[in-house]
Structure formats: structure tokens, C-alpha cells
Structure 1
Amino acid sequence: MIVKLTYAQLKKAVEDAYAACKDIQGGQNAHYIPYLANVDSSLFGISLCLPDGRLISVGDTDYRLGIESVSKVHTAILVLKELGAKAVLDKIGADATGLPFNSIFAILLENDRPSTPLVNAGAITACSLVEPRGNADAKWKAIFDNMTDLLGSEPVLIDELYHSESATNFDNRSIAWLLKEYDRIYDDPAMALDLYTRQCSLGVTAEQLAVSAATIADDGVNPLTKKRVFDAALSPKIVSLMAAVGFYEHSGDWLYESGLPAKTGVGGAVIGVMPGVFGVCAFAPPLDDAGNSVKAQAAIRHIMNSLNLNVFSNTHFDIAD
């Protein structure tokens, strides 16, 4: 069955979600990263982007937030582009761990590979795989340029966040060297960790993240620039990764309740991809116990449920004027 969605319906759904969720309480900022702990916890915004480039935004969607683990999606796309889907599966994997995003135990359980590029271990490995090997500056340029292509405009490195993360990333240091012990990191571990920390410290807006999600939804074509950022065959691969582990140990519950492949970050952003229909980002800093924004996930779930959207449904959606 094909159902027509109008722009007016989508706009109303976004605005209703904002109104319904803006007063939600609960959760706390990522207190273990000093910069994030001090971000205004009342910030809240939702931005939805259509494949034709139209944006529906409400709230604090122009605030430059720390991208954090949402960046894992973008760098996973980069290594998929550079190495191909089979190599990423062989060298990193695509399995959900069912454990926290920074789990060291998960590495010990699956010592043949880091499980998925959307948890910390796999994301650090992904940074080690970015070409060219052994050249930190060139690798960073590749990561930054790929991010810019997906967002449709440049992110900005938040120096204070970068230094804050670098001073407190003790778990990730352990992860990087454990990966080295198991021969599951493919460049200098310290370099890979620094690249990962830097990409997590990029400042982006909810609107930029919605554009990047819409790029995935539209099989790799950026809706604003119209540039093909990656091959269409890679879009189902990245969406499947988001579905499997985008909410970490709460991923199954999230899919069951929302029907939307999504990825969270401890900066408070959640991006979601409805293939062929839209990309969406909601942002609010307070997190639940798994590191997922309480208010942002409520807002996106509200949009999906109010429109009866579900990626697992046999209904196919088309956007009408």
C-alpha cells in the first residue's frame, strides 16, 4: 500500500512533537565529560529534512552541539566508501553487543573483531582504517571532508570539548590498546584514538544532522548540495547498522516502539533515517542510563507514531505537496 504524506502533515507532526515533549523531565547531561556537563540542559530542537531539501525545524536547531557518537555513522560511511562493505564486515563487524557503548568486556567476548563501527571499539578501529594509513593530517582531512559532504556544510571543531574529552577518555585509551593486543586496530592506536576523539568533538547543528540523515535516506545524495556522497548500495548497510545498535543496549526497545533506525550521541542528538522519506534529528542534552537523550527520543517516537510510520511496515510512503 502506498500512502501519500503531505508537507503540512509532516510539519504538524514535528510541531506537535515539540509541544508534547518540551516539558519532559528526567535524565542528566553526560557528567563524565566536563564540557557536556555544563551545556544548558533546557536546550531542545527538532529538524526534519526531506529528500528535496526542504527543512522543518522548531526549537534550538541552530545551536552548535557536540556531535559525539552520532559521528560514528559518518565515519562508518567513509570506511564503507573506501574499503567496501565486505572489508568492513570482516575487519570490524556488524553485530550488536547488547552492552554499553564503551564496553571493554564486549571486546573480550568477541576477540575476532570489534563487533560494529557504531560502538566505541569499532569506531576507533574505523578511524584506524581511514586512508591513507600512517598520516594523521590526511586522515583527519578525509574524515572532515566526508562529514562536510554529508552535512551539506562544514562542522566546526569545538576546541574546549576536544580538550575536555582528551583529558577524560580513560576507557577509550584502554579500548584502543586492547584492540592492538588482539590485532584489531590497523594503524597507530594513539593516532586512531585521537582522530576518534576529534571527530566526536565536532560542533554541528540539528539541521545539519537532519541533512546528513536525509542523505542516507536518499541513497547517498545530499538533499541540499545534490552531490552524490556515497553509492546507493551502501545506504542499506549503514541503515542496518543503525537499526542493530543505534541505541546500544536499548536498541531493540527503541525499534519496537518507534520503528525507525536511529543513532544517538551523548551530546544529546538523535538522528533517524526513514529510507526514501526523510532524515530527522532531535536534540536535548539530558540522557538516560544508556546515554540516549530522553527528550529527543520521545520527540522522534512521537513523530513516527503520530504519522503511523514504521520501517518494518508493508506501507510505502510518498511525499506530496
Structure 2
Amino acid sequence: MPSMTPSLTDLLGAPSVVEQALQAAYQAEFDDNDGALPTSYPVMTGVDPHLFGLTVVDGAGQHWSRGDVEVGFGLMSTAKPFTFALVCAAIGVDRVGAEIGLNATGGAYNDPTPVRTGPDGRTNPMVNAGAIATCTRLPGDDREAQWTQLLAGLSAFAGRPLELDQALYENVSATNVRNRELANALADRGLLVGGPDDALELYTRQSCVSTTASDLAVMGATLANGGRNPVTGVQVVPAEVCAPVLAVMITSGLYDTSGEWLYQVRLPAKTGLGGGIVTVIPGRGAIGGFSPLLDAAANTVRGARATMMLVERLGLSLF
């Protein structure tokens, strides 16, 4: 990983440069009502569709924020790169890649087809099937020990104690038909460590951890900073883990629209059904966004568009 520049203002000039770009991106998308609330889980249909927040965190731990950046929502798929990083740190990058897979599927985030009909059933850690398989490789003697390690790791990425959203967890658990189907299919292909019930439980819990746009920015900045949290100074994962995680994010982080995102934004990112988006600027910092209105690929509309505008205004693309 590249060494972290101390702050974005060292790169861009006065703090007002970041402030002005953030304000412009936030204001431009404030009244954007494109997209729809997700219907996969009933609890999500009651979320205020007007919620919108955007945070930038740099290598010095400085924050710039606009909007609803402290409103809680479920991590959902934005948990995936961080769980992937924790598992890579525990058992090694090469082993995780070999056992889970790394290639983009070109399909929806919960598509069972690659598992059922693919040559070996492998996918990648950014889609549900690969993420379920990833969870089973967490360190720990049993499911509860694995969960304790996972929640501690996610909290270390965020720089504060994170908690399970119990209402969301109960709702998701009661309606988790597709993911149960995926877990069973993975078990049939021999891709789980342990049984499908434990795999699904761990995956569901990680998805239902409550987070904020500010948390996502800190978590992303930790990956950008070679695994070291720029706010707490804690080395969450080894530096050598971060580049492989960012590589998978850049190829598969936005599901079947990942190619379009790479073409337009040219930065690693991950979205989630809860309305979150985390975008990593390697060696610089990260952007965390939240808006619950999603597009057809289950990506936050306001969050993605505002991030795109902010990256363009600040010239943060990798190439």
C-alpha cells in the first residue's frame, strides 16, 4: 500500500477546498429523489427516503461532513470488504482467494446461479454467496466466538464500538429465504467451513450491524491507510491485506454496475442495501455516504452520485 499522505489539505491546499467540494456535491444531490426504498426486508420500507449524508475522512483523521452522517443504518453489504480483510489477516490472502474466488459474477448480488452451475461454485467476497463463505473462515472455535471476533474487528475499523441492530436482525432473519438458499447451495458445493446454518447466522449478523456514514468513512480510510485506523491509530489488519481487498472492491464492489463505476470514478467502492456507500482513495482517505433510495442494482443513488461529483471536483481518481 502507498504511504498515507498526512491530510487531504496537504494534497489539495486549504481545508476550504474540501469543504467547498463537499458542500457542492451535497447540495447538488440534496433534492435528488431518484431510486426507491428496498423491499427485500419490510423494516427498510419505513425508512425516511429524504435522509442523506456524506463524510470525508483523510489520513490525519480529519472529518468533513454534510447532512445525516450520524443516522444509523444497517451495514448490509458494506460489511463485506471489512470482513474479507479480517479473514485475510487471519488465514492469508492467497488461501481466501483460492477458496472463495475473486472474479466478478456479472450478476445480481444474491444470484445463486454461479454457485449452482459454475465450474467450481466460487464467486467473490463482495457478493452474497462469496461473503457467506468468507464468514465461515473467521477465527474462533464456534459461531459465537467467531461473532465476537467479527464484531470486534468491525468496531476497530470504525474506531468505536458497533452494535447489532436487533430490530433489523430479527426482520432479516425472518425473511432470509434467498440467503438461506445460497448457504445451502454453498454447502452442497463444499465451499463452507462448517454448516449452512452457522454460515447464514454469521452473515446475517454482520449485515445487521448498525453504522453511519461517518463510520464508513473511517472504516474506508483505515483500508486506505494500510490497515491503520487514522483516528485511533490502531493497526486493524496488516498492510499487505489492504491492496487485495481494494482490488476486489474495484472489480466487484457495485455488483453488475462495477464496470461502469470503475470507468467513471476509478476508485474502489462498496455499496449496501441499507443505503451506505464507502469509497476508498488509496493512500489518501475515504468517503462515506448514506441515502436509502436505491437503483435497480441496489446501489444508493444519491450516495453514489454525490461521491462521483466529489471525486471529480477534488481530482481523486486513481487514473
Q: CA–CA distance in 2 between the matches of 1:36 and 1:304?
A: 29
Residues 1:137 and 2:127 are matched in the alignment? no
Q: Which residue of 2 aligns with 1:165?
A: 172
SS, match of residue 180 in structure 2: helix
1:179 alignment partner AA: L
Q: Which residue of 1 aligns with 2:122?
A: 114
Q: Which residue of 2 aligns with 1:88?
A: 96
Q: Which residue of 2 aligns with 1:30?
A: 38
Structure 1: which 5+ runs fail to align? 314-321
Q: Which residue of 2 aligns with 1:244?
A: 251
Residues 1:55 and 2:63 are matched in the alignment? yes
Q: Which of 231, 235, 239 pairs up with 2:238? A: 231
- 8 A Cα contact 1:221 1:227, kept in partner: yes
SS, match of residue 136 in structure 2: helix
Q: Which residue of 2 aligns with 1:69?
A: 77
Q: CA–CA distance in 1 between the matches of 2:308 and 2:288?
A: 12
| Alpha-carbon displacement from aligned partner over 1:99-120 (angstroms, at most 9, x marks no partner) | 0000001212434243111110
Q: Which of 208, 216, 224 pairs up with 1:217? A: 224
Q: Which of 297, 311, 315 pairs up with 1:304? A: 311
Q: CA–CA distance in 1 between the matches of 2:83 and 2:121?
A: 17
- 8 A Cα contact 2:212 2:290, kept in partner: no
Q: CA–CA distance in 2 between the matches of 1:218 and 1:282?
A: 19
Measure how far apart 1:45 and its partner are.
Answer: 0.2
Q: CA–CA distance in 2 between the matches of 1:131 and 1:231?
A: 16
Q: Let me know the Cα RMSD of the aligned residues.
A: 1.3
Residues 1:271 and 2:249 are matched in the alignment? no
Q: Which of 155, 177, 189 pairs up with 1:148? A: 155
Q: CA–CA distance in 2 between the matches of 1:195 and 1:230?
A: 20
Q: Which residue of 2 aligns with 1:41?
A: 49
Q: CA–CA distance in 2 between the matches of 1:208 and 1:58?
A: 14
Q: Which residue of 2 aligns with 1:191?
A: 198
Measure how far apart 1:258 and its partner are.
Answer: 1.2
Q: Which residue of 2 aligns with 1:317?
A: none
Measure how far apart 1:309 and its partner are.
Answer: 2.3
Q: Which of 262, 265, 278 pairs up with 1:258? A: 265
Runs of 4+ off more than 6 Å = none
| Alpha-carbon displacement from aligned partner over 1:144-197 (angstroms, at most 9, x marks no partner) | 000011000011211110011011110100100111111011112101101110
Q: CA–CA distance in 2 between the matches of 1:114 and 1:266?
A: 22
Q: Which residue of 2 aligns with 1:204?
A: 211
Structure 2: which 5+ runs fail to align? none
Measure how far apart 1:9 and its partner are.
Answer: 1.4
Q: Which residue of 2 aligns with 1:5?
A: 12
- 8 A Cα contact 2:216 2:289, kept in partner: no
Q: CA–CA distance in 2 between the matches of 1:5 and 1:230?
A: 28
Q: Which residue of 2 aligns with 1:319?
A: none
Q: Which residue of 1 aligns with 2:183?
A: 176
Q: Which residue of 2 aligns with 1:128?
A: 136
2:198 alignment partner AA: M
Measure how far apart 1:10 and its partner are.
Answer: 1.6
1:56 alignment partner AA: W
- 8 A Cα contact 1:157 1:203, kept in partner: yes
TM-score where L is the length of structure 2: 0.95
1:262 alignment partner AA: A
Q: CA–CA distance in 2 between the matches of 1:114 and 1:63?
A: 35
Measure how far apart 1:224 and its partner are.
Answer: 0.9
1:61 alignment partner AA: V
1:111–1:154 Cα change, 3 Å: farther
| Alpha-carbon displacement from aligned partner over 1:203-249 (angstroms, at most 9, x marks no partner) | 11111110000000111110111011111111111100110100000
TM-score where L is the length of structure 1: 0.94
